[in-house]
Structures are given as C-alpha cells and as structure tokens.
A = this chain, B = another copy of it.
Amino acid sequence: MALIVQKYGGSSLETAERIRAVAKRVVETRKAGNDVVVVCSAMGDTTDELLDLAAQVNPTPPPREMDMLLSAGERISNSLVAMAVASHGVDARSFTGSQAGVITTERHGNARIIEVTPGRVKEAIDAGKVAIVAGFQGVNRDSKDVTTLGRGGSDTTAVALAAALGADVCEIYSDVDGVYSADPRIVPDAKKLDKLCFEEMLELAASGSKILVLRSVEYARAFNVPMRVRSSYSNDPGTLVTGAMEDIPMEEAVLAGVATDDSEAKITVSGIPDVPGEAAKLFRVLADAEINIDMVLQNPSSLHDNITDITFTLPKADGPRGLEALRELAQTEGWGDIAYNDKIAKVTLVGAGMKSHPGVTADFTQALRDNGINIGMMNTSEIRITAVIEQEKMEDAARAIHEKFNLGGGEAAVVYAGTGR
C-alpha cells in the first residue's frame, strides 16, 4: 500500500464535470489500495475573477487582504472535490493550507514554505479517509495570517506535503501527459520521456519548459520526493522525475530534451572600467529594483584596455524598468552606451548524458550553423547548453537541435561519443 499525493491544476477542475472526473480518478487510486492525499488549485478562472473584483474595489489592494481573497478559491475547489469523492462512498476531508499545517514566511502573495506539520492530514489518512488539501496557500507562523505561495504554489504545496508525509510519489496532473523532448507544438515528433532526473528537470524548467515550476522541482530534489507528471485526461503513466544523475547508466548517456524561451530581453552596457566592483554596481542596481537576471556575459573590449562590456538577459516585462535604472547609473558613472534587444530567444539542450560525453557542444553549434542561425551568447552547465539567438529563429533552432541529437520519434535518444565540447 503506497501513499500517493496527487495534485490537480485549475484547468482539471474548471467545471463540475471535470471535478467529478478528478474524483473518479482519486477514488480509483484509493480503491486500488493506496492512501491518497489530493492537492487542488482553484477552479479554472476563479483566481482571475477574484483579481478582477479586487481591482474594482482597490487598484492597489493590501497584500494581506489579497491573500485572504485568493485563498477562497482553493477552499471552493477542495470542498467540491471532497464532496465528489464522497459521492462514491469514499470518506474525504478537505483542509485549508492552515489546517494542513503549511507554515510559511510572512511575505504575502509570494510566501515560502518554512515547514509542513500535517498532523490533521495524517489523522485523516490513518482513519482511512482521503485528505484533500488546498494548494497555493499557507499560514504565517507568527501573525497567523493566511498567505499565498505565488506562481507554481500548488505544485510546491503538493511536493512539500509529500515530503512531510513521506509519500511514495507526488503525481502532478495537468493537460499534458508528461515531459516531452521538446514543445510538441514546435517540434512535431517530440517524444514523451519516461524518466528524467531532478537535475535535468531543473535545467529544463529554468530554460523555459512550462510543465513543472522550478521551485517545486527544487523542493522535490531537496527532499528526494519522486514526481510523476501525468494528464488528468488519460491513463498514461506519464513521466517520472526522480533520483540523482548518478543513477543514470552512463553508457547510455541519454539526452533529455530541448527547451525554448522567448520571454527574455538582452541588455548590453558598454564602456565599463574593467576594475573590481564596477560589475557589482550594475547588478546591485538591478537587485534593488527586484529584477531577476538570467545569463551574464562579460567581454573585455578588444579596442580599449581596461574597458569591458557586460551583457545579460532579463524578463522582457522588466526590460523598461531595468533600462531606466541602468541609464541613471551609467550617467553617474560615466559609462558608455546601453543597448536593448527584446527580439531574442533562448534555445537549450538538457541531458545528464552530456557530462560524460564530449562532442555535444560541437554538435549543438553545428546544428545551428547548418541552419544559418547565429549564436549571440552561450552558456553551459554540466548538463545543459544554452544559446541566445534571434527570436524569429527560435523554432527552427529547436527543431534543428532536436533532430541533430535524434531526440524524437519512438527511438531512444542516445548520444554517441564525439569530440570537442
């Protein structure tokens, strides 16, 4: 008898009919002899409707009240799922984040989970009940105020709860049936992956894959909670995300897939004195504006001694704000020009196999070159290669790399030894 945590997203709970379908799956899992804990997001558009109401009464609503408002959404979906499960004669009990012991930091709208003390959830399971826990929400330990966890919060609730309960697996249900070797809308022969290691999933999530939120994967890796990505509309076993890179048989050196991301822009600040502390000034200004930067490249100028350029990427949405802050700084410091380009994209190849198999970078760059795609910036980790390219070439690039490494179709994507990298 396993303990299974199942997380269902808002689109899986959009209507009463879908809620009944979710309940049916929960009941089947329970009747197969498993203990089941269910984590639900708010129904379909609930959150948007509540945000809209809030905007109508106060354009800048206090964050504490916003959390009080939004957390009502999961309360509704969760109690409905509990009722639907009960209609099958299976005892179910819904819990708010607070009741389930999800203790968070104080930061309303984007709280972090500090710990989970799921005493009531455990009691319910021990009594043979299905426990339904509201995702996305928790309670601050000191003020006892309701908090929400921000983007990907429900996935994180599910993983944190699975960790605290020592669950055998945390199943994340959505409208796709697993993790693919590329976005199938871009690469038609993309292949569903049976298994990935946490590191690969982390790199994919950080590189633009939307299937799992980085934060929940980080949590799963830290507490070694196996995750399974599944569709709520099929019985496909989906993709298992588990274990460490070391578990992967090196002789097979599988590459996981290609991720794409066109949500970032690129800023280049030139004419910065190449002395210690100058780059820090730049990044401090951006940090103070709460702007997350992604890739960074520093090029000593070939024309002038002791002068350098710094290029980095940041979310397009933060572009104008970032530019403004930097223009002020550049003027004060007497730096050179600032260039902004929001017509870029990132294309990334991820795979634990990369580590022990040289030649991957060579093949990667060759695939782009063969398709006439110029690389603007490049950046690698042990199991990832990322290139910044022109935005309009993004899909071509993904297809080229996917094909070069033979990631598609029914075949296993094995990387054979090459040279270089």
Contacts and interface: CB of A to CB of B under 8 A. Distances in A.
Interface of A: 16-17, 19-20, 23, 50, 53-54, 56-62, 64-66, 68-69, 71-73, 75-76, 78-84, 86-87, 92-94, 96, 99, 120, 144
Contacts of A96: 68
Q: Taking each of A57, A60, A81, A84, which has the highest tally of chain B beta carbons within 10 Å of its own beta carbon?
A: A57
Lowest 7 A-B CB distances belong to which pairs?
A16-B56, A69-B79, A68-B79, A57-B84, A58-B87, A58-B83, A61-B83
A65 B93 CA distance: 7
A17 B16 CA distance: 29
A21 to B, nearest CB: 11
A356 to B, nearest CB: 52
Nearest to A81: B57
A191 B187 CA distance: 76
A20 B69 CA distance: 16
A64 B53 CA distance: 28
A56 B17 CA distance: 8
Contacts of A92: 62, 65
Contacts of A54: 79-80, 83
B53 A16 contact: yes
A79 B65 contact: yes
B69 A72 contact: no
A57 B19 contact: yes
A57 B23 CA distance: 9
A64 B71 CA distance: 18
Contacts of A83: 54, 57-58, 61-62, 65-66, 69
A57 B21 CA distance: 10
B68 A82 contact: yes
A86 B19 CA distance: 36
A18 to B, nearest CB: 10
Contact of A64 (B56, B84, B93): B93
Contacts of A17: 56
Contacts of A79: 54, 65-66, 68-69, 72
Contacts of A87: 57-60
A50 B46 CA distance: 12
Nearest to A98: B98
B69 A75 contact: yes
A53 to B, nearest CB: 6
A78 B66 CA distance: 11
A82 B68 CA distance: 10
A87 B58 CA distance: 6
Contact of A86 (B65, B82, B93): B65
A82 B53 contact: no
Nearest to A19: B57
A79 B63 CA distance: 10
Contact of A76 (B16, B19, B72): B72
Contact of A65 (B20, B73, B94): B94
Contacts of A57: 16, 19-20, 23, 80-81, 83-84, 87
Contacts of A75: 68-69, 71-72, 75
17 contacts: A16-B56, A19-B57, A54-B80, A54-B83, A57-B80, A57-B84, A57-B87, A61-B86, A62-B82, A62-B86, A64-B93, A65-B83, A65-B86, A65-B93, A68-B94, A72-B73, A99-B144
A38 to B, nearest CB: 13
A303 to B, nearest CB: 56
Contacts of A144: 99, 120
A93 B86 CA distance: 35
B76 A69 contact: yes
Contacts of A60: 87
A28 B55 CA distance: 22
